[in-house]
Structure 1
Amino acid sequence: MLKTLKALLGLAQREDATSDELNPSLPAAQAELAAAREAQAAAEQAYRGSLLGGNEAETLRLDAARREASVRIDRATALIEALRERLAEARDREAEAERVAEYEAARVQADDARRALAEHYDSMATDLVRLMEVVARAEMELQRVNADLPRGAERIQSVEHTVRDIPAGPDEVLSETEVELWVEVGQTTPGTFDQDNVYKTGPGRGVIKIRGIPLTECIQVELRKFTEQQVLLGSSRQVVFPLHSRISLPGFRAGEPAIWKAMDALAKPSEIVKRIENLRFGLLPEPVEAAPTPTKPRRKLIAEPGAQPVQALPKSPPTREYRGPFGGPENDPGDAKRVELA
């Protein structure tokens, strides 16, 4: 304990002690204070017990012991206060050292950034303008050759949109159901007519009922099988604004003319090249990008593989003269039966 106390006293007197050294010293000093209080209580009890014993020398010795224990308590208390002060000073000193280090690092980083900006801005801005010129000249050439393509050749796609646009995402099929729907003659898909308005004339055949028109003159339909899908449409194609309409490069120093000011997004490649060649730039408002619209599931019908348009059946001769909209087979069960048998 004496060795530990001596070390603690020496640490409390060091002005350069670190917080890592001082942090564990406080519990040790507090343990010393607790031990000193226990020793002082024991010495006080022994002293009082000797007062009636008649041994003067022993009483004086115990009195000295209890006074020594009190001094030990005072020393431990002072030690704890000194260590707390040293710890606060060390933390403040270390925090200041950290601030100084961060300050110096930031100053060096700022000096490097200033040097890089001064050395590279003009050349990088010029390179961007040259890049826009390369793209614009290529677009000019594409417009020229696409206007008079060789036989069988496909149009050459735009340089910038081919590289920068994001294609549309694939559709996601949520569910599939087999359905049977009526299809008009000459079509492969149901169309928009009311499926419930079909009058069945035979197995898989029927006509679309039209008020006032004989069934034999109505549009023929055929019952076809389809795969009905609930489809969540994929993301739409994302088209970028061209660089010449989004880039703005001010002059490096105050008062210097702009190296490049944004042009209209619909500016022609020839206009871009002309502006670059003349080195006289004008600023136009930048277009505002439209917010993407949310996608919702849509109904999608897929015909059977190899489906052909519905073919018309030959018309059957009438079995009786037309008697108006209220005298046809639809109101005469006997006539309807004859039509089905035919």
Structure 2
Amino acid sequence: MLKLIKSLLGVVAREDVTSADLVTSLAQADAEVAAAAAAQEAADVAYRDGLLQVDDAGLQRLDAARTDARLRVDRAKAVRDALGEKQAVAEVREAETRKRAAYDAAVSQADEAREILSTLYPAAASDIAKIIATVASAEAAVAAVNADLPEGAPKLLPVEASVRNVGRERALVSERTVHLWCREGERMPGNLDQSRVETDPAGHGFVRWSTSQIEYVVQRKFTERMYEEADRLFVSDLAETVSLPGLTARDAPHWKPLSQGQKPEWVLDAAERLAIQGAAAARRDPNPTIKTELELMDVFDPSESARPGPDPLAAAQERGERGGRALNGSTGER
């Protein structure tokens, strides 16, 4: 028991103890509290029983055992409470460590993304815009030669559609030979229900439509082929769907999506206009205009406190003279 308490006190004293370690220690502390409480209950029962049976010396020993048991309970509870507080502190510390690690990782990831965005995006966006212009130039050339083809030359496929409008050709899945019944004079089975065909002893086929109506049929050999049907998926042109804004609000866009049905010449014209805008934006003065503003922080003016006040002797003399003049004026009127 004492060895366990000392071990748990060692855990309490550790600064680097983890919440996972404290889970085990708390379980041990709870078990010790339960064991100590049981021992205290036994000591109390023994003491009460000894009050009527044991001499004073024996009763003192029982009382001392009861005191020791109570001390064991108090110590076990104190250790358990200290471990609980330690666990709460450890959980807060570990949560803060996790948050700090996530924060630092986010800072690193954000810095990397900013570097990629600021260095790679302008070049990549410019390359994509050049691809759109290159495709439009080729489309214009294809349209021009298709309008006046050399003798015997096949029409050229549109550039972007032939690359991006993907699909599957008709593909053979299986092939087998089958024997099917057909109506006399017909080459194909049509809608004849093969399950209703019966045969007579000679092997001739017939269909019994009623008790009095029988239709003879003939068997023919066919090659049955199963195919995967062809299909094709269509997408809009890049010039109509791609949007490549400038890196910042001051930068010209690399590409703005055009409305549907644009001719290659119009796409090339849009590319030229955007290139002119980009060149003009690059020539702008990057130095901002500097302005100065004043913000009033206090209405106190120290220069006012330095001004001299009125002379107190002169002020008193002036008040006396005003009083004398008032008195003389009053006497002259009587």
TM-score by length of 1: 0.61
Residues 167, 233 of structure 2: 8 Å contact kept = yes
Task: Report matched runs for 1:43-62 at 5 Å.
Answer: 43-62=43-62
- 1:78 Cα deviation after fit: 2.0
Distance, in Å, in 1 between the alignment partners of 2:6 and 2:264 is: 86
Paired position in structure 2 for 1:273: 268
Asked whether 1:244 is paired with 2:239, we answer: yes
Distance, in Å, in 1 between the alignment partners of 2:99 and 2:124 is: 35
Residues 245, 262 of structure 1: 8 Å contact kept = yes
- 1:67 Cα deviation after fit: 0.9
Q: Give the secondary structure class of the aligned counterpart of 1:240.
A: coil
Q: Give the secondary structure class of the aligned counterpart of 2:144.
A: helix
Indicate the structure with greater helix content.
2
- 1:42 Cα deviation after fit: 2.4
Q: Give the secondary structure class of the aligned counterpart of 1:23.
A: helix
Distance, in Å, in 1 between the alignment partners of 2:117 and 2:93 is: 36
**Counterpart residue type for residue 120 of structure 1:** L
Residues 275, 281 of structure 1: 8 Å contact kept = no
Paired position in structure 2 for 1:70: 70
Task: Report matched runs for 1:153-164 at 5 Å.
Answer: 153-164=153-164
Between the two proteins, what is the percent identity of the paired residues? 42
Provide closer, same or farther for how the CA distance between residues 32 and 140 of structure 1 changes in structure 2, counting only shifts above 3 A: same
- 1:63 Cα deviation after fit: 0.7
Residues 168, 237 of structure 1: 8 Å contact kept = yes
- 1:72 Cα deviation after fit: 0.8
Residues 181, 225 of structure 1: 8 Å contact kept = no
Once the two structures are superposed, what CA deviation does each residue of 1:88-140 show, in whole Å capped at 9, x if it has no partner?
22111111111111111111211221122111222111111111122112222
Paired position in structure 1 for 2:101: 101
Distance, in Å, in 1 between the alignment partners of 2:153 and 2:141 is: 16
Paired position in structure 1 for 2:140: 140
Paired position in structure 2 for 1:262: 257
- 1:22 Cα deviation after fit: 0.4
Gaps of at least 5 residues in structure 1 are 191-223, 283-342
- 1:28 Cα deviation after fit: 0.3
Count of matched residue pairs:
248
Provide closer, same or farther for how the CA distance between residues 38 and 128 of structure 1 changes in structure 2, counting only shifts above 3 A: same
- 1:11 Cα deviation after fit: 1.7
Taking only aligned residues, the RMSD between alpha carbons, in angstroms, comes to 3.6
Gaps of at least 5 residues in structure 2 are 189-219, 278-334
The structure having more radius of gyration, on CA atoms, is: 2
**Counterpart residue type for residue 162 of structure 2:** T
Provide closer, same or farther for how the CA distance between residues 258 and 182 of structure 1 changes in structure 2, counting only shifts above 3 A: farther
Task: Report matched runs for 1:189-338 at 5 Å.
Answer: 234=229, 236-279=231-274
